[in-house]
Amino acid sequence: MPEIKIFNTLGREKQVFVPRVPGRVSMYTCGPTVYKYAHIGNMRTYLMADLWSRALEYLGHEVTQVQNITDVGHLVDDTQDAGEDKMLLSAEAEGKSPEEIAAFYTAAYLEDSELLRIKPAAAYPRATEFIGEMIELIQALEKLGLTYEVHGNVFYDVQKRGDYPKLSHNTLDQLQSGYRIDPDPHKHHPADFLLWKAGGPRRLQIWDSPWGPGFPGWHVECSAMSMKYFPDGFDIHTGGVDLVFPHHEDEIAQSEPVAGGQVVNYWIHGEFLEMSGRKMAKSTGNIVRITDLVEAGYDPLAFRFLYLTAKYRAKLSFSMDVLEGAERGLNSIRHKASALPPAAALESEGGKQLQRRFVAALSDDLDLPEVSVLLQDTLRAEIPGGEKRALLEDWDRVLALDISRPAAETSTQAPAEARELAGRRDAARAAKDWAAADAIRQQLEEIGWHVEDSPEGTRLRPRRASETPSKVS
């Protein structure tokens, strides 16, 4: 197996990946809070986990991935343990029970994942199914002297944990000064976080506990579920960069004292998807669902292809123009790949070198932009066409772009008027009459056709019925 390097948030550096069990990788992915639809910013995080899982399998490992579903306990302000439970807010707004909300949005999330060809996880534990394990974990922390109770609320005492915080590279002094002016007066330190919250009169989800009726804190849920599935610890924990603090920081503080040592060896965090210069988030309203893109006529895998243009640890800007470009790029690759002869064994040195570059890119902290460049280099390479097809189809086990599928939208779908204009444009370009070619391009755009240049001449693609998908609030 090749040496794999992973940027570990815990050490803030690339580290050589060594699984706990040779050849087997255990991975836990923080999944959605199912109170609303997941947007494409959320889906970027889950795509990252999918690509890591596929890459590790491609590189010779057997991967077991668990992804949780949060259906209780995620408060509006999770840094302050304040505000309403997101599940209850949606239940009240839609006139449904929390269970109905969870079932509906879980199904929607799984459908979105399928559109993006995200492989199903080995298990999708739901928080409400593990309340007993959460209570047991809190009791274990209580016996270790790491908690205190106030009116049925159980807090974790971060000052009792000598290395808190260690994932986010903050200090308790920094956290002290960084919290708002009016922290919860019941907390010993502003960074103390809820393990169990007392239930109020409006609670629709409530369970009995040694501290009275209530519900679990969001952070303790992932600790309980991940330790249930991986009792001996696990290799990789993935999530968005916004989860580093406090969610994942608090997971470490809860899990390690009870386990008696390190539970997670590698923490992988993906950066935000931005639209109009802002993080895509349900709270800001600047969100788009993958189904919005599909309804507007886009191939959902164009978004997957767009993801290859940036490293997973770098912000990625989204706009409809950017998505248009990604779909053109994907269609161009498919058009060229579908014209290749059947796959043939790699025999040329050029083909073998391209294969080595692909393995090296995956092994170097999942270098997606290098993979994107490599696709184009392969199509241009002076190697037999059968070897090109073999490489592309083999790599698609990781990329899942359906590369061998013929481009769905072709000039043959265009009406006679558009085809005639395209022929005149090709003649103008051949005569180097660029002004005439540009004028014809404009005519084609005005009658509803995008123009793409290819070695075979002008290709036409229908313009979208709506350039801007509908938003989901």
> Could you read off the pLDDT of 215-245 as tens digits, one per residue?
999 999 999 999 999 999 999 999 999 999 9
pLDDT (0 to 100) of residue 32: 96
Question: What is the reported pTM?
Answer: 0.86
Q: Is the pLDDT of residue 393 over 50?
A: yes
pLDDT on residue 471: 36
Per-residue pLDDT band for 179 (boundaries 50, 70, 90) equals low
Contact between 392 and 376 under an 8 Å Cβ cutoff? The reply is no
Q: H or E stretch including 441?
A: helix 434-446
How far, in Å, CA of 391 to CA of 238, rounded? 29
Q: Give the lowest-confidence range in 45-49, 152-156, 198-202, 428-432.
A: 198-202
* Domains parsed from the chain with CATH numbers: 5-274 (3.40.50.620), 318-399 (1.20.120), 411-462 (no CATH)
Phi, psi dihedral angles at 386 (to 5 degrees): -65, -35
Nearest to 72 by CA among 182, 240, 214: 214
| Mean pLDDT confidence for 107-127 | 97
Given this model, what pLDDT does residue 33 score?
A: 93
Virtual CA dihedral for 314, 106, 469, 306, nearest 10 degrees? 30
* Nearest of 188, 316, 170, 314 to residue 244 by alpha carbon: 170
pLDDT at 287: 77
Region 209-215: mean pLDDT is: 95
The pLDDT of residue 261 is above 60: yes
Give the pLDDT score at 472.
33
Distance CA 185, CA 7 (A): 38
Query: 424 with 440: CB under 8 angstroms?
Result: yes
CA distance 340 to 182: 66
pLDDT value of position 136:
98
Residue 410: per-residue pLDDT = 46
Residue whose tokens read 């592309």: 392
State mean pLDDT over 366-378: 97
Each residue's pLDDT tens digit, 301-340? 999 999 999 999 999 999 988 998 999 899 999 999 999 9
Q: In this predicted structure, what is the pLDDT of residue 462?
A: 72
The least confident of 110-114, 182-186, 187-191, 204-208 is: 182-186
What value does the mean pLDDT take over residues 275-286? 69
- DSSP state at residue 427: H
User: Mean pLDDT throughout 142-162?
Assistant: 95
Percentages helix, strand, coil for the chain (3-state, rounded to 5) are 45, 20, 35
Largest CA distance in the chain: 84
Mean pLDDT for 154-166 is 93
As a whole number, the mean pLDDT across the chain is: 90
Lowest-confidence region among 68-72, 226-230, 382-386, 419-423:
419-423
Name the pairing type of β-strands 234-240 and 264-270: parallel
- Report whether 25 contacts 56 (CB < 8 A): yes
Strands 457-462 and 449-454: antiparallel
User: For 8-15, what is the mean pLDDT?
Assistant: 96
- For residue 170, what pLDDT is reported? 83
Q: φ and ψ at 44, to 5 degrees?
A: -60, -40
Q: Give the per-residue pLDDT at 473.
A: 26
**Mean pLDDT to the nearest integer, 95-103:** 92
- Of the chain, the percentage scoring pLDDT greater than 70 comes to 91
Helix (H, G, I), strand (E, B) or coil at 289: coil
Consecutive H or E run containing 172: helix 172-178
One DSSP character per residue, 204-229 reads: SS-B--TT-SEEE-HHHHHHHHHHHH
- Cis bond before residue 246 (omega within 30° of 0): yes
Q: Which residues pair with 5 in a beta bridge?
A: 16, 364
pLDDT digits (tens, 9 = 90+) for 400-449: 999 988 765 544 467 888 888 888 998 888 888 889 888 988 888 888 78
pLDDT band at residue 283 using 50, 70 and 90 as cut-offs: low
